[in-house]
Amino acid sequence: MRGPHNLLRLIRTAATFERTGAMDVVLDQMRAPGGLRVAARLLGAPFRWLGYRGDPDLPPVTRAITALGPSYIKLGQILSTRPDFVGDDLALQLRVLQDKLPPFPTAQARAMVEADLEMPIEAMFSEFSEPIAAASIAQVHQARLVGDGRKVAVKVLRPGIARAFRRDIDAFYFAARLIELLSSSARRLRPMDVIEHFDMTVRQELDLRSEAAAAGEFAANTARDEGFRVPRVDWALSGRAVMTLDWEEGVQMADLAAIDAAGHDRAKLAERVIAMFLRHALRDGYFHADMHQGNLKVAPNGDIVALDFGIMGRLDEYTRRVYAEILMGFIRKDYRRVAEVHFEAGYVPRDRDIDLFAQALRSVGEPIFGMDASRISMGRLLAYLFEVTERFGMETRTELILLQRTMVVVEGVARTLNPHMNLWTAARPEVERYIRNNLGPRAFARDLARTARVLARFGPHLPEAVEDALRRPDRNVRIRVSRDRKSNIIWFVAGLISAAAVAVIASAV
C-alpha cells in the first residue's frame, strides 16, 4: 500500500495537530530537532483547514488523537509505554486516552458472530444484549448460553477494522521513515521499531484468537493465586472475530464508593494489586501490561478480576533475575551491587567506570528513599534509572520500558485505593520470594540440571558429528582435519562429559 496516499494522510494528521493546538505540545515534549519541526510545520500549517476539529473540551493532544480515529488512539496508548520516545509528560497525557467510541449496530454484531462461528446465534445464546462497552477495535455484549443459561461476555470486532488499521499503519511507517531521515538524534530511539511493535500488537488484537490464547495462558499461570482470577475462555464460542468469556460480577476498581459500600478493605486491595503484578512479572515472566482501573474488577468475595488481555508483557528468565536483583539492590541501598548487575547483564558497556556508575545510582535511589512513604514510587525509580543508564551508554530495552510503564499504572491504581500505602512494603515480600527461589543454591542446581539436559540432547548426534568432522574430504578428496575442527570436537566431547557430571551433582543437591 506504499504510495502518495501516505503523504496525504500525513498532511491530514499534521493539519489536525495544528488545528487542535497539539503540534507545539508534541514537538516540545519530544524535544524535536529543527529539521523535524520545520517539516511538521510545512505539512500542517498551510493545510490547517484540512484538519479535524475534535472535541474542544479535551486537552490538545487527546483532542487531536481522538479526532483522528481508532488507529491513532491505539497508537497513542502504545506510545504511552515509551516515555523514552515521547517524553514523560506526553506519555502521562497519552496514558489517559480513552478508546470509547460509538457502538456499531447489534444486528451487525449478531451477523458477525454467526459468520465467524458458523452457527445461528439462537443455537448459541438464549439472550444477546445491546453493546455494554465499545472501544476502538471491538465491542462487548452480555449474553446467556443456550442450555445451562450461564452468563458470558461476547467480544466482537468492529466491521472493516482490519482494513482501516492496515491503511493507517502503512502511513505510520511512512512517518517513521521521515523522522529517521530528518533527525539523526531520533534514530537512537528507533521509530521504525516502535511502529513495528505497534503493528505486531494490533495484528494480535485484530485476531481475537490471540487474545483468547493470552487469557488462557494468564489464567493457567495465576490459577493458584489466592484473591486473583481471570475469566475462563469458552473456546467453542471463540474465533478470529469473536471471543466469549465467563461473565464476572463485581464493581469497577475505579468506583471507590461502590467498593466501600460492598465492604471491601481498600488497603488490602492496594497491596494485592502491587503484589500480584510483581508476582506475575517475576515468577511467570508474563504480566498484564494494561492493568488500569477499567480493566480490573472487585468480585463480591473480594477477589481482583482482570479483564482485557490485548496487551500483555513478557520477560525472559534472565531479565527477570536481573530486574529482581536491581529492585532488591535498591531496597537494600546496595548501589554497588546494582551497578555490578548492570555490567554483568551487559546493559552498560564494560569500558565505563563501575564506581562512577554506582555513584550515579546512589543519586537515583537516595532522594526517593528519603521521601514520605506515600510518595515512594518504583515507577519513578525505574524512570530515573533509565535516564542514568542512558547516560552510561545503555541501549533502549523495550521490554523493560513496558514493565516500567505498567508499574506506574499499577502504582496509580494502588494509590487510588490507598493514598498512604508504602509501595516498598508491599513489593518486598514478592521480590525476596523470587530471589530466594531463583538466585539461591537450589536455583543454581536447577540451572545446572537444565543445562545438562540440553547438552545431553546432542549425545545421539556425537558419533555422526565426529565422523563427519574427521572424514569430510576437500576438493582433492584427501582427508584433512583442521586444528579448529579438532578443537571443536574436543570441546564438544568435554561439554557432554561435563553435562553428565553436572546432572549427577544437580540430582544429588
pLDDT of 352-399, one tens digit each?
A: 889 998 898 888 778 766 666 566 666 667 767 777 777 787 766 666
pLDDT of 479 strictly over 50: no
**SS3 letters for 200-267?**
HHHHHHCCHHHHHHHHHHHHHHCCCCCCEECCCECHHHCCCCEEEEECCCCEECCCHHHHHHCCCCHH
pLDDT of 178-189, one tens digit each?
A: 777 766 656 656
pLDDT at 214: 94
Most confidently modeled range among 120-124, 165-169, 383-387, 437-441: 120-124
Contact 471, 479 (CB under 8 A): yes
In this structure, the strands spanning 304-306 and 228-229 are parallel
Question: What is the average per-residue pLDDT within 394-414?
Answer: 75
The least confident of 91-100, 289-298, 313-322 is 91-100
pLDDT at 509: 45
* DSSP code, position 286: E
Residue 224 CB contacts under 8 Å (≥ 6 apart), including other chains = none
The least confident of 228-237, 335-344, 358-367 is 358-367
Question: Of 259, 342, 346, whose CA–CA distance to 304 is shortest?
Answer: 259
Residue 472, Cβ neighbours under 10 Å: how many? 12
pLDDT at 302: 94
**CA–CA separation, 231 and 250 (whole Å):** 12
Percent of the chain residues topping a pLDDT of 90: 27
pLDDT of 2-27, one tens digit each?
A: 556 677 787 888 888 888 887 877 77
Most confidently modeled range among 111-125, 390-404, 470-484: 111-125
Question: H-helix or E-strand containing 454?
Answer: helix 441-456
Question: H-helix or E-strand containing 314?
Answer: strand 312-314
- Can 290 be counted among the known catalytic residues? yes
pLDDT of 475 strictly over 50: no
Find the catalytic residue in 207, 290, 447, 474. 290
Question: What is the average per-residue pLDDT within 427-439?
Answer: 81
Question: What is the average per-residue pLDDT within 419-441?
Answer: 79
Residue 75, Cβ neighbours under 10 Å: how many? 23
Domain limits of the chain?
Answer: 1-99, 100-247, 250-439, 442-508
355: left (phi over 0), alpha (psi -120 to 50) or beta: alpha
pLDDT at 23: 81
pLDDT of 493 strictly over 70: no
Show the cell assigned to 310: 490485548
**Better-scored residue on pLDDT, 314 or 87:** 314
Question: What is the average per-residue pLDDT within 107-122?
Answer: 94
**CA–CA separation, 214 and 310 (whole Å):** 8
pLDDT at 379: 65
Strand order in the sheet with 242-246: 125-134, 138-145, 151-157, 242-246
Strand partners, 127: 144
pLDDT of 193 strictly over 80: no
Show the cell assigned to 170: 502503512
Question: What is the average per-residue pLDDT within 348-355?
Answer: 87
Query: By CB neighbour count within 10 A (0-12 exposed, 13-18 middle, 19+ buried), where does 132 fall?
Result: exposed
Categorize the per-residue pLDDT at 494 as very low, low, confident or very high, splitting at 50, 70 and 90: low
